[in-house]
Chain A
Amino acid sequence: MNTQQTAQLKSSANGFARRRSERESGMRLENKHQSGKLNQNRSMNAIGTSKAPVYESPSRDRLVYLSTCLIGHPVEVRLKNGSIYSGTCHTTNVEQEFAIILKMARMTKDASYRGSKQEYVMKAPSKTLIIPGKEVAEVIAKDVPVTVAGQSNELQNERHEDILIDSSISHSRHVELDRELSPWVPDEDDPQCPGLENIFDGPWNRGWDQFETNKMLFGVKSTFDEELYTTRLEKGPRMRELEREATRIAREIEGEDTEDLHLAEERGINLGEDFDGDEEVRFSSVIRGRGLDDSGYDEDEDILLDKRNTETFGDVPASSGAKTDHLHRGTSNDSAGALLTSSVDEPQCSQSSNGSEFFQSNTYDHCRQQADDLPCKSSTSDCNGRSLYGNPEILRVAQGHDSINASIETKTVAVDGKLSKSNESQSAENSQTAGFDRGGLLADAPSVTSSVKEMPPTEPEVVYVKADGESSGVSACRQPGTFASGSDHAGATSASSHPAVSPSSSLIGSSSSENSTLNPHAKEFKFNPNAKSFTPSHSSPVRPPSPVSDGSYYFTPNVTTLPQMHGMPVGIGMGPSYSGHQHVLFNPQVAPLRSPQPYFHPSGPQYGQQMNLGHPRQVLYMPGYQPVSSSQHL
């Protein structure tokens, strides 16, 4: 066996090939009339002169044709000595003997080898293997495409790495497929409901138990227990009703009209004969909602939230300095606003008015009005003897803590006196208002608000407010009418007018006379020194993060005096977990108040808390307020 694999031989193989092609072309020219078609598409247009003799026979043509078909195809060459080589056919020469050149050939059977199969040693494949025709006994090739159909299919397949997609099979232009392909049509059944389902109708009716069968056939005992996988239905007396109800509901749901294509199809709602859409649309594709965009926060949501905020807090003209946005004053929130304002202004007022007149009805009204239009500038003037229009005051307070300090001090002083006086009376009236911080409230807008929150049930506070520390003030304060817009009022006023403590009697009287909504039977607030500070457990979903949240904080000016007062919330000011800035007066003596009083944390959720009460409060923000902590006013 002389198989050689040298470059030289390779070139000679090429020579073979060249000669062969020449011959082929020669043959083509001459055999055109005979079997022209056989040679027609040969792209090889070698130079026409053929020197070798031409065999004019169709059989020869066929041979050549078929051997050409082998090119690139895996073949098996059996030699006359019995050895077998496998490889890719590169070219053949059938002119005389069937010579063949294989690429990447391997000897799959070695005739000379006598050993057992186990020990057959593999040899490396030869890149090119030339087998002389004399040696060749037989060439076997499987799945050779001999016609056009076979060829293109094969290439397609190989190109796509043997992935045959359905459309290429079904729409094949190659008629010569194994069988005639025709599109599937359903049986006489309704095309919407293929009859496949009939087979498994009512398995419980079929009378075939798979477990029994299995046991019988294979002796396998089943441990299947349906209850493991489903909830047991209690078949009690009410079963019928429940079933009926359930089926009713089910029918209702199933009978519902739906926009969804697929649901409609499931329910058997006919779409109409001329439905525009092919099978894919009808049965398979996912329907994307029109205009649905759940990519996240929408403009609309934004607006919606803003709107809600506005409703809640009232419009805030931008002009009013720092974070006036957050100076909310809903129309219904007057009390709160007033309260706040008053509370904030307290110090101022006290300062200015020296406790002579804290509240005046007209001022209150005025405050209210002014609260409504934010840009409250003339706060100082207002403050003087007025019930503080809190906003501007607050703002100013925010910006200048010094003033607050001063005011606080003054106020503290002022309050002290009053407080002592009103202690008893107030204690009686003290409503529970957990967290109602008399002292704190005064200067502390948020606390006021919080107290306001608590207030509703406790009206005695209001009475307080009207306390006649300053008779005039008291009387002024005593505006249940105005206050009565809500218990808040009472609360607010009471808070704000804290310094203006009046004998309970007067308060009570005023409250009752004015049909206040205060609850005279409310429990007295008892301060719990061990209480933890309040931290909101969740944030309001409605509330967008508001920049003003920073501004909320407590103002607890008069901490020291409070201990004397029974049940006075003391030193509420500090929430434990403020996000840093804006810590106002901190009273180290007093443990932070317990949760009932919602602390205003400088974070959005606080407002949510408030909102939850259903009383829109006016919250005063003191955005730029610098912590006064340096001065522990006690």
Chain B
Amino acid sequence: MEGSISNSSSNEDFAVGCMLSIKTTLGDEFDGQVITFDRPSNILVLQEGSKPGPRRNIRFLKTNYIKEFSFLGQSEDPLDIKKCYIDLQSLQDREELALRQAEADAERIGVGVTTEAQGIFDALSKTLPVRWDKTSIVVMNEVRVSSPYLPENVIGGTPAANDRVKKVLELERRRLQTRP
């Protein structure tokens, strides 16, 4: 299909709205509707999903990575030009917000810890205040759980707190085992 797209602007237009089924070289398979194709950069922008509305799932795909595709049909232009406005200010705000959120989330992720450890951390964080300290989980600022995060590794804190953390840890581990 790439080859058939001529250089004339008019020709490019027809690609818009096509429903394609694409397989990428990375192993992805999906269906989408062409929103636009930019020849100079070889970027094909597709819209996934059929639901109308202001929010769409969008893919920017470089055509060089298309392994194969098939034409599913032709539909109308999914993008209504008349409604396309961008408010840069709101975009920036959105970005800021997202960043703040992401930073908060990043706190919760341990560096250099296994996914299992992260899972335990996440489970503990549901009911207890936890934070990472290198590769140890610090609960309630008192109790430390170090690798390999077994009940025996629970150290510190008042006996009551210690017991509580132990108990929660056991339960969480049990739950994680039953649910892979």
Contacts and interface: CB of A to CB of B under 8 A. Distances in A.
Interface of A: 35, 37-38, 40-44, 55-60, 62-63, 65-74, 78, 80, 82, 87-90, 94-98, 103-104, 106, 117-125, 136-155, 158, 174, 176-178
Interface residues of B, number: 65
Given A55-B40, A121-B113, A43 B59 contact: no
Contacts of A43: 87-89
Given A80-B65, A122-B110, A124-B106, 12 more contacts: A59-B38, A63-B45, A89-B95, A95-B41, A98-B60, A137-B25, A140-B58, A141-B57, A141-B58, A174-B54, A176-B54, A178-B53
17 contacts: A37-B82, A58-B12, A58-B13, A59-B12, A62-B36, A65-B86, A71-B95, A72-B93, A72-B96, A80-B26, A103-B95, A137-B24, A137-B26, A138-B65, A139-B59, A147-B80, A176-B54
Given A138-B65, A144-B57, A123 B111 contact: yes
A62 B45 contact: yes
A95 to B, nearest CB: 7
Contact of A38 (B12, B52, B84, B114): B84
Given A72-B97, A119-B114, A137 B65 contact: yes
| Majority-rule SS of A interface residues | mixed
A144 B58 contact: yes
Given A43-B89, A137-B65, A176-B53, A146 B79 contact: yes
A40 B82 CA distance: 11
B174 interface: no
B41 A72 contact: no
Contact of B86 (A41, A98, A155): A41
Interface string B102-120: 1100100111111110100
Contacts of A90: 95
B100 to A, nearest CB: 10
Contact of A122 (B35, B52, B96, B113): B113
B56 interface: yes
B106 A125 contact: yes
Contact of B111 (A120, A124, A177): A124
Contact of A118 (B85, B98, B111, B116): B116
B83 interface: yes
Contacts of A42: 86, 88
B92 A63 contact: no
Interface string B14-44: 0010000000111110000001111111010
B160 interface: no
B6 interface: no
Contact of A103 (B43, B99, B112, B113): B99
Nearest to B27: A82
Contacts of B37: 59
A57 B9 contact: yes
B54 A146 contact: yes
Contacts of B89: 43
A147 B84 CA distance: 5
A41 B87 contact: yes
Closest 10 CB pairs of A and B: A150-B54, A72-B95, A72-B94, A104-B102, A62-B36, A139-B60, A149-B54, A124-B111, A147-B83, A143-B55
Contacts of B56: 143-144, 146
A123 to B, nearest CB: 6
Nearest to B116: A118
Given A122-B118, A149-B54, A151-B87, A74 B98 contact: yes
A143 B56 CA distance: 5
A112 to B, nearest CB: 14
B161 interface: no
B62 interface: yes
B61 interface: yes
A545 B133 CA distance: 66
B74 to A, nearest CB: 17
B1 interface: no
A135 to B, nearest CB: 10
Contact of A88 (B39, B79, B95, B109): B95
A82 B24 CA distance: 11
B26 A78 contact: yes
A40 B88 CA distance: 11
Nearest to A174: B54
Contacts of B79: 62, 146
B98 A88 contact: yes
Given A59-B37, A124-B111, A151 B106 contact: no
Nearest to A68: B86
Contacts of B96: 72
Contacts of A104: 98-99, 102-103, 106
Contacts of A140: 57-60
Nearest to A100: B60
B28 A40 contact: no
B55 A57 contact: no
A563 B142 CA distance: 79
Contacts of A44: 88
A138 B86 contact: no
Contacts of B25: 137
A154 to B, nearest CB: 7
A60 B39 CA distance: 8
A97 B106 CA distance: 29
A67 B44 CA distance: 12
A68 B87 CA distance: 10
Contact of A66 (B51, B58, B92, B110): B58
B175 to A, nearest CB: 16
Nearest to B64: A137
> Which interface residue of B41, B79, B80, B113 has the most chain A CB atoms within 10 A?
B41
Nearest to A81: B26
A168 to B, nearest CB: 15
